[in-house]
Amino acid sequence: MNLTKIQNTYLNNYKESKLVQKCEYILITPQLANEFLTKNTNNYRILSLKEARNISQDIKTGDWDQNGSVIRFDENGTLLDGQTRLDAISKSGYAVASWVIWNVPKRSERSIGTDRKRTNSDHLKNLGEKYPKVLSATLSNLFYYINENKFDKSSSPTNIQRDKILENYPDIKDSVSMFCSRKRQGVIILSQSVAAFCHFVLKRKSPESAEDFLLKLMGGSNLFPTDPILILRNHILDVKTKGGYLTTKTSICLVFRTWNFWRENKKMSKKKLLKDNLIPNPI
């Protein structure tokens, strides 16, 4: 197929679509969202309840951006695209304006949703942040922490929720920079985002002690045999040597518990270190 024939194909598609496709900007109430969802009869994509909850939360707080996203129906009236947004509107209890396009060719479903989803780190990079990936993960950790330690990630923060956290706690970027700007050597004790989060929380108790504590934990220098930091560091090394993995929640739990023993200059056994997986309040 030569270039002229390809271009003519697209021109013909344009002319046909212009005659039959209809686009409207309408107010979608929860009731209308439910009605539209009854047309969701041939969708091969499973509804993301987690994403629907996130969007619904943004709608409830008045933070949902009307960004030009489109609800699509094919020529038979079947919903092609927009089930998650519609479910979110239904759950929110609020009416939201959106573009709706009708009579989209059914064959187009093969190309809908195939482009790469923009991540929060993409968003932060666009804002000019220096360490967008680590900052995004650190903001997520803080979101879970201030929301009753819900590190199960059943409801991850939206871009808007992360933006609000960054607006309220701009100095979290200093903690991120501290660990991203240093060259990592040897075994990685904590991920940069976990280390940055822990530093951000602990420096509110003592900025100097927080830096000293975490740098000793990461580097392993100047530690005596009964030092709580060494007990934690050896445990992490043992887990990693055996091919194990510590979740974000577990890592934070162990760091905060060790911090409390270290701050009070108390001895800590491995049994006390591992007594449970509840995140203690740092002292």
pLDDT the model gives residue 114? 62
Compute the average pLDDT of residues 69-96: 93
- φ/ψ (deg, to 5) at 279: -75, 115
Task: Give 265-274 contacts, CB < 8 A, sequence gap 24+.
Answer: 266/228, 267/226, 267/228, 268/228, 268/231, 269/231, 270/231, 270/235, 273/228, 273/231, 273/232, 273/235, 274/235
Q: For the packed helices 228-241 and 207-219, what is the interaxial angle rounded to 10 degrees?
A: 40
Which uninterrupted H or E stretch holds 70? strand 70-74
Average pLDDT over the chain, rounded to an integer: 90
Separation of alpha carbons 268 and 108, rounded Å = 62
Separation of alpha carbons 119 and 192, rounded Å = 18
Separation of alpha carbons 29 and 11, rounded Å = 36
Separation of alpha carbons 64 and 60, rounded Å = 8
- Share above pLDDT 90 across residues of the chain, in percent, rounded to a whole number: 66
Q: Cβ(98)–Cβ(86) under 8 Å?
A: no
Separation of alpha carbons 54 and 156, rounded Å = 7
pLDDT band at 115 (very low <50, low <70, confident <90, very high): low
Which of 55, 245, 61 has its CA nearest to residue 155?
Answer: 55
Residue-wise pLDDT tens digits, 43-55: 777 888 888 998 9
Compute the average pLDDT of residues 56-84: 90
User: Structure pTM?
Assistant: 0.76
* pLDDT greater than 60 at residue 1: no
Residue-wise pLDDT tens digits, 132-141: 999 999 999 9
Burial of 281 by CB count in 10 Å (0-12 exposed, 13-18 middle, 19+ buried)? Answer: exposed
Residue-wise pLDDT tens digits, 145-196: 998 767 766 667 888 899 999 999 999 999 999 999 987 766 789 999 999 9
CA angle (169 as vertex; 165, 173 as ends), nearest 5: 100
Spans of all domains in the chain: 9-110, 120-273
CA angle (21 as vertex; 20, 22 as ends), nearest 5: 120
pLDDT band at 112 (very low <50, low <70, confident <90, very high): confident
Residue-wise pLDDT tens digits, 231-261: 999 999 999 999 999 999 999 999 999 999 9
Separation of alpha carbons 27 and 275, rounded Å = 53
